[in-house]
Structure 1
């Protein structure tokens, strides 16, 4: 299984020991506010994170984002479909605002383009999630459009903004802008 490392983080397959912390932050209403999973987040769904699937396989593949000491901070994911993939990121409340999402996604994007050879990455987000909007912009994703009231989520019609980045646009120097 592929493990990605950055100056501060390890992005690796989930382990059984991660599941209680994973389930806890997935059930945090502040973390789940703009995410698509149902609440409460069931333990069975957390157990599915132990799938052993490789990054780049078709469908969603999640990876734990941890500190070197093993502390779980959150997760990143690729939903690969042919030469493209949707990406996602979720961090526990205590890990937000410290540059961890940027650092983990930078490693994931570099892997997706350089190792997996993907052509395009995209993300669909609730545009009210301003921190993620800023994050994707800092990662050089372009806003491709917003679908107005396009899906029913947590009792209301919700917009979805799409951001994307082509491999030919990815000119990231891995030593710059990690935080």
Structure 2
């Protein structure tokens, strides 16, 4: 199932055929450097892809992973993750991982812009957040590029891979967002399990 389409990408549900490519780029030490995992095996990839078959985009309190596929090449280039806050369901946290060979080509920018458009559009979200390692300058630059503001710099706030690490918090509000030019979604928005009007009014 394709949720979103950008100029070059299908942003879709993971499939069993993705496991090999998914595992390969996540097992790359350079890709994993600022991520939560130390090792990523074929079994890890299979388990995650299988788990995603039971989840839906927008389910509160659950991370949902979306595959990023180059439409012309039919190549998995990375993934984005999103989780709606279980306590405040109009806030979503996002993350992203790109295969090393596909970095620097603008894929993550396309994918995040599409996700922001969809979140602030049909999903009626109020706020997006993202957290990155303070040393990950490429991720911080990407988040700035899609219009997210740095709201905080947490110093030595997390013990991560054997050492204390610092993190940056980025956010964007619905009123700050301007939709990015892209192709329309390839699935019917009316079929999504979101209300036609945001609950509780607009903040």
TM-score, normalization by structure 2: 0.82
**Distance (whole Å) between structure 1 residues aligned to residue 162 and residue 68 of structure 2:** 30
**Residue deviations 1:85-129, cap 9 Å, x none?**
110110000000000100011111111110111111000101111
Alignment equivalent of 2:66, drawn from 54, 63, 78: 63
In the alignment of these two chains, the number of paired residues is 174
Give the 3-state SS of the residue equivalent to 2:109 in structure 1.
helix
Aligned-pair distance for 1:2? Answer: 4.8
- Unpaired segments ≥5 residues, structure 2: 183-203
Structure with higher Rg: it is 2
1:1-179 matches, within 5 Å, as: 1-37=1-37, 39-47=38-46, 48-50=48-50, 51-52=52-53, 53-58=55-60, 59-68=62-71, 69-81=73-85, 82-174=89-181
Q: Secondary structure at the match of 1:115?
A: coil
Bigger relative contact order, structure 1 or 2, given CA contacts below 8 A and separation 6+?
A: 2
Matched residue SS, 2:178: coil
Q: Secondary structure at the match of 2:97?
A: strand
What SS does the corresponding residue of 2:121 show, helix, strand or coil?
Answer: helix
Q: Which runs of 4+ in 1 moved over 6 A?
A: none
Normalised TM-score (structure 1): 0.92
How many Å separate the matches in 1 of 2:180 and 2:106? 17
Note closer, same or farther for the CA distance 1:72–1:2 as it changes in structure 2 (3 Å cut): closer
